[in-house]
Structure 1
Amino acid sequence: MRIYRILPLLFFFLTLGSVETFSQTKKSREELEREKAEVQARLREFDIILKQTTATKQTSLGELNALTRQFQTQTKLVNTLDREVRLINQEITETEKKISGLEIQLKDLKAEYSRMIYNSSKLNRGLSIVAFVFSSGTFNQLYMRLKYLKQYSDSRKQQAEQIEKLSAELVASRELLDQKKTEKITVLSEEQKERAELERLRKGQQGVVNTLSRKEKDIQRQITATKKQQEQLNRMIKQVIEDEIRRAEAESKKANTTTTKSAGTSMPMTPEAAALSSSFAGNKGKLPWPVETGFVSQGYGTYPHPTLKGIVQESDGLEIRTQPNSNVRTVFDGTVSKISTIPGYGLTVIIKHGEYFTMYSRLKNISVKVGQAVKAKEVIGQVATNTDGQSEVHFQTWKGLQIMDPATWITSK
């Protein structure tokens, strides 16, 4: 009887452990599925945007940047699928261990149940239950026999229930194991397909690299020219910000009103402007993209090109590739501070958000005017398409005269 008393307790703890493991695995699976869905959505964006590049496209640094980003995203998908396969293998191993444990428990329970019936039969020596009870020599013996029969009946009932539960769980676990094995075959097939796509992209990328490697001097000249254009662009926005600071100071003195100065900007702000600045800062990492669909073809900062040796890229903002004729929209409430045209960057709009400024370049037309108040996601123009067939928006963020990495301000994709 001792084994039987311990078995239900063991069953409880083993079941509790399997529930905890299942909960953790389920959480990992949900995170993995969410990540895979996000990566697949990004790749669909790549396909749509790159397929819509005009027929005039040429082998260029911009095209290589786009292919490199696509290759990196495809690599991430393959890695995600590989992690999914490893997770399924882990689930299969855990399920097999659970089945093995259940089989042992079920075998022990059935053996104990058989021993209970056999021992009871021997104890009764073939007597019926009534004869067994009333053949007692004393009242105390009668009481003990009745108590024993009650315990025996309850124990056998509980034992039968445990056997039934374990049997059902064993069947369910075996079905789950078959399901996991089928799922593994499906994911392995998907991974094989995506690896083939990754290899296709790698060859395409390498072909562009080989072509551009023979044009290193031309590319260096393009980079130098772009750097000069970017310096001109930055001089323009700095001038706009300095003008805004001087205007704010003059208005503050003229009105003799209480204003706020933010550290690092020296810009007097009215309570309304200060509130707008605070709201902008509070939305760091949550601002919408300046286009509805797109991907970053070149990031902020100075760094060596990931695939083209000897080439160093530099950008004070984000280059966001999107579909031709896409609407460009402001990322936050503000006021249009400047509209200008810069060689290499085309039509440019600067929007003031208190002490913060955002800049949108490479537009082909503009639908707002200087001094106009705009709301977040309000369309300010349309993206231009260059001679290489690429539709890109150049996007910058500033706090006063301090330039910032725009990628830390917009939502991640």
Structure 2
Amino acid sequence: MQKEIKEMNRLLFAEKKEKGNVLEQMDDLDRKINIKQELIRVTNQQSNLLNRQINANVRSIGKLREDLELLKSEYAELIQKSYQNKSQENRLMFLLSSQNFFQAFKRLQYMEQYTKFRKKQGEDIIDKTKKLANLNSDLVEQRKVKDRLLSENRKVKKDLYKEITSQKDLLKSIRQNESKYTSAIDNKKKETRRINREIDALIRAAIASSNKGSGSASSAKFALTPEAKLIATNFSSNKGKLIWPVEKGIKSQGFGKYKDKIYPGITRENNGVTIATDKGAQARAIFEGEVITIQTNKMGVKGVYLRHGNYISMYYNLAKVYVQKGDIVSAKEPLGEIYTNRFNNATSLKFYLYQDTQKLNPENWIFQL
């Protein structure tokens, strides 16, 4: 979470946003606030866990000290008695005064056991002293870690307050230009619907084209050859383990429906995920596949469609494309350079995943997305 916040600061907040781009700022700030709130919750959990460990250590230290005092007391008594009976004559007389050989043998055993017991008590004292020192050392370290966590939490809470204040100020400025931003939201929704319709039409056209040779007229499902079935099975078996479509970046917008941050009555939808990355970054294939379509919109922004059996991965918002229709690409192979918006200097890849014409949530397929 700390890494993600750091990356968000670097990728989304490094440049001062243009005034006309406050809608993106609202979304970015909201994601950052949510992550910070979750970070505070997790940090509190860690702090509570450390509290329990510290208390357990304090109890263990108290018990060890009691055991150590008892051991030392018993050992002192043993040493005193040993000193009183230390002369060789006493030991010899103790053996010789035995009534028979068996009693002498048992007395000899007792003397040996007594010596071993005394030695063991000495070793136990050394061992418990070491354990006590280690526990004290652990306790000091745990308290340091807890102090660091509490310090971090205070800092995150302070930053969070700033982010919430900034978001409120931003919302206030948007409310003052209500009509302008309502129009911008409507335009954004229209653009999203247009892109989704275009993607759907291109996928259906690609399926229909692929099925011509097999005798199937369907534009909804691929007719799979044995080889295509194997590729689809391999792709499906890697669910949750597929690589990111960029070398590094952060998810700036997730999959599915969500309420608008400015107007909660408005529902927005993302059929894929949006990943913010560095200027000049490249989109890369998440799995081996065939380039079945290259899309170019009226603004010159491009998209690459890869087929993996009956699965399609789609990489949209590219400035340059390095592949051609019909190319077979391998996992991690660069597909094109991601477009950087010249107005706000933002670089983001829109990534979509389909099974035939069914939309899939990429977050369930890409590792830690």
TM-score norm. by structure 2 comes to 0.87
Report the more deviating stretch, 304-313 or 365-374: 304-313
Residues 187 and 357 (structure 1 numbering): CA distance in 2 closer, same or farther, change over 3 Å? same
**Residue 269 of structure 1 aligns to a residue in which SS?**
coil
Q: Deviations over 1:300-352 (max 9, x none)?
A: 22221357533422121212222223212222222222222335793222222
Offset at 1:99? 0.9
2:354 paired with 1:398: yes
Distance 1:309 1:231 in 2: 19
Residues 274 and 248 (structure 1 numbering): CA distance in 2 closer, same or farther, change over 3 Å? same
Q: Deviations over 1:127-174 (max 9, x none)?
A: 721122223344444334323222222221222221221122222222
Residues 190 and 114 (structure 1 numbering): CA distance in 2 closer, same or farther, change over 3 Å? same
Q: Which residue of 2 aligns with 1:250?
A: 212
2:331 paired with 1:376: yes
Q: Which residue of 1 aligns with 2:10?
A: 48
Q: Which residue of 2 aligns with 1:36?
A: none
Counterpart of 2:310 (choices 355, 361, 385) is: 355
2:289 paired with 1:339: no
Distance 2:319 2:2 in 1: 31
CA RMSD of aligned residues (A): 3.1
Report the more deviating stretch, 397-406 or 344-353: 344-353
- Is contact 1:62-1:297 (8 Å) kept? no
Distance 2:98 2:185 in 1: 107
Counterpart of 2:222 (choices 263, 267, 271) is: 267
AA matched with 2:363? A
2:290 paired with 1:328: no
**Residue 12 of structure 2 aligns to a residue in which SS?**
helix
Distance 1:379 1:288 in 2: 13
Residues 277 and 83 (structure 1 numbering): CA distance in 2 closer, same or farther, change over 3 Å? same
Offset at 1:65? 1.0
- Alignment gaps of 5+ in structure 1: 1-38, 254-258
Distance 2:350 2:183 in 1: 20
Residues 51 and 364 (structure 1 numbering): CA distance in 2 closer, same or farther, change over 3 Å? same
AA matched with 1:410? I
**Residue 60 of structure 1 aligns to a residue in which SS?**
helix
Distance 1:50 1:231 in 2: 25
Counterpart of 2:163 (choices 201, 217, 235) is: 201
Counterpart of 2:118 (choices 156, 167, 173) is: 156
Counterpart of 1:364 (choices 310, 319, 327) is: 319
2:46 paired with 1:84: yes
Q: Deviations over 1:53-110 (max 9, x none)?
A: 4764644221211122222223333333333322322222121111111111112222
Q: Deviations over 1:16-75 (max 9, x none)?
A: xxxxxxxxxxxxxxxxxxxxxxx2221221122124447646442212111222222233
- Is contact 1:297-1:320 (8 Å) kept? yes
Q: How many pairs does the alignment contain?
A: 368
2:87 paired with 1:131: no
1:71-220 equivalences under 5 Å are: 71-116=33-78, 128-220=90-182
AA matched with 1:92? I
Identity of aligned residues (%): 29
Report the more deviating stretch, 357-366 or 207-216: 207-216
1:271-286 equivalences under 5 Å are: 271-286=226-241
Report the more deviating stretch, 108-117 or 85-94: 108-117
- Is contact 1:300-1:405 (8 Å) kept? yes
**Residue 412 of structure 1 aligns to a residue in which SS?**
coil
Counterpart of 2:197 (choices 222, 235, 256) is: 235
**Residue 291 of structure 2 aligns to a residue in which SS?**
strand
Residues 267 and 178 (structure 1 numbering): CA distance in 2 closer, same or farther, change over 3 Å? closer
Report the more deviating stretch, 50-59 or 398-407: 50-59
- Alignment gaps of 5+ in structure 2: none
